Structure 1
């Protein structure tokens, strides 16, 4: 799996290793963190190893498979969790920003899926981790949000092509998940703070890496063998609501006051259930 040194990727690696999988997790810069994840998994009796990977490099992706899955070694599950991009307004995105974002988030997923499928002769699972920026537009997220939308489109196309080989391809789309990356993004100037965002989520809390990891775990399991080409949204209901948000309504909010507004603006008390 890619991006297994911290956050969501770390919990995915730990859960899958706990289920008895031999986990190969990749990292780009966080060697010490990746080693700590591997050591923790091994202390719990699991099997894991870390491999440095530059997702922008096709040669590095080839090297990963040659080193870790050579000599016909079978691969059962590929999880693409790593992502990176520039958080900038449209006018400030350079060609280099766009190229690197696409190569890291989209091209790498297709290359990984190609090579993984070659090592799944008896079928397997491919799961991509995406985010709610794939279907909602918000400031500074255009580059990676569009890339994640492209990944979800690739999930559908790959599912259609790889299905006859017994390979399922799905995505897990996360909302506001409590990770370092989330706090980095919402800590930038001009972006509303999490104290503003959390009350807008129907579940009234941030998601956790475990929430995401359990969804990936399910899609990687035998129980998900007939699910393919879909995106499972794990966002506490955030993307099913729209303004006005309940947290921003005044005292006239009928869900909190027990009253209902008439067309003229007057209010009357709603009768108890069963009374007329």
Structure 2
């Protein structure tokens, strides 16, 4: 089954690295026109821009820090100016830190909540005029939201709230023909593993291989596939759901 997205206009936040990058490239190769964003200049921005130039379609990589409301509004306006409409939104941008709860400062709590949760609210809110019947919103959550993760209370709280937001919006926006779902990844092997010391990367792979039914980590492509499914017409009767993509963790 191919998830053809020809003619679809998509906004994907945080699309230059890791999971977001995989989603952007997979969507573009499936025929969609994609606009994505990044927070700061990097080689990843340059290589993604180059890859999209070699991929058929109308693609754009713009700078926007979705942790700031004004930046979100500017990003969505950019999508409106370039595309005039949106058929899909993927709220992927996120940040994480590891801090004992007793030492968690208020500004770090706010940073994580703003980028992982408030940004999704604002993107969807501002994009509503661009989303017509048959459009799809996919929020990238986390398998850890259901389990709880020590040292990540702020991150886990944001991702758990994303599920509640999704369920409420699925009911509220359903009569308009707008679907809203969550994809909740387990441990996905991104380029971040390449940046680690080899011994540490091998240790993480071994640890999570023991914790998953499939005895391995997931790949970026294995996460992008379910996202494309939820953006496509093959999932036209699915909304308010959380799709765990975790290898049976």
Q: Same fold (TM over 0.5)?
A: yes
Over 3 Å counting, the alpha-carbon distance change for 1:17 and 1:193 in structure 2 is closer
Match of 1:89 in 2: 100
Match of 2:127 in 1: 116
2:91 is the counterpart of 1:80: yes
Match of 1:198 in 2: 209
Larger radius of gyration: 1
- Pick one of 39, 46, 50 that aligns with 1:35: 46
Match of 2:177 in 1: 166
After TM superposition, the structure 1 stretch with the greater mean CA deviation from structure 2, 178-187 or 97-106, is 178-187
**Partner SS, residue 124 of structure 2:** helix
**Partner SS, residue 84 of structure 1:** coil
Please list the CA deviations of residues 78-119 of structure 1 after superposition, one character each: whole Å capped at 9, or x if unmatched.
Answer: 001110132111111101111111111111101111112221
Match of 2:238 in 1: 227
Please list the CA deviations of residues 166-223 of structure 1 after superposition, one character each: whole Å capped at 9, or x if unmatched.
Answer: 1000010000110245788999x9xx84422212211011000011100100000011
Q: Could you tell me whether the CA contact under 8 Å between 2:208 and 2:217 is conserved in 1?
A: no
2:153 is the counterpart of 1:137: no
Please list the CA deviations of residues 104-137 of structure 1 after superposition, one character each: whole Å capped at 9, or x if unmatched.
Answer: 1111101111112221133411001111111112
**Partner SS, residue 131 of structure 2:** coil
Q: Which runs of 5+ in 1 are unaligned?
A: 239-276
**Partner SS, residue 70 of structure 1:** helix
Q: Could you tell me whether the CA contact under 8 Å between 1:198 and 1:204 is conserved in 2?
A: yes
Over 3 Å counting, the alpha-carbon distance change for 1:203 and 1:30 in structure 2 is farther
Match of 1:53 in 2: 64
Q: Provide the rounded CA distance (Å) in 2 between the counterparts of 1:121 and 1:179.
A: 33
The Cα of 1:30 is off from its aligned counterpart by: 4.0
Match of 1:253 in 2: none
Match of 1:18 in 2: 29
Q: Could you tell me whether the CA contact under 8 Å between 1:133 and 1:144 is conserved in 2?
A: no
Over 3 Å counting, the alpha-carbon distance change for 1:152 and 1:102 in structure 2 is same
**Partner SS, residue 179 of structure 2:** strand
Give the structure with the higher percent helix. 2
The Cα of 1:12 is off from its aligned counterpart by: 0.5
**Partner SS, residue 47 of structure 1:** coil
Over 3 Å counting, the alpha-carbon distance change for 1:78 and 1:137 in structure 2 is same
Match of 1:44 in 2: 55
Q: How many pairs are equivalent?
A: 235
The Cα of 1:151 is off from its aligned counterpart by: 0.6
Please list the CA deviations of residues 14-49 of structure 1 after superposition, one character each: whole Å capped at 9, or x if unmatched.
Answer: 111112111001111144312321221221323311
- Pick one of 146, 149, 152 that aligns with 2:157: 146
Over 3 Å counting, the alpha-carbon distance change for 1:31 and 1:69 in structure 2 is farther
Q: Which runs of 5+ in 2 are unaligned?
A: 1-11
Runs of 4+ in 1 over 4 A off after TM superposition: 180-187
Over 3 Å counting, the alpha-carbon distance change for 1:30 and 1:205 in structure 2 is farther
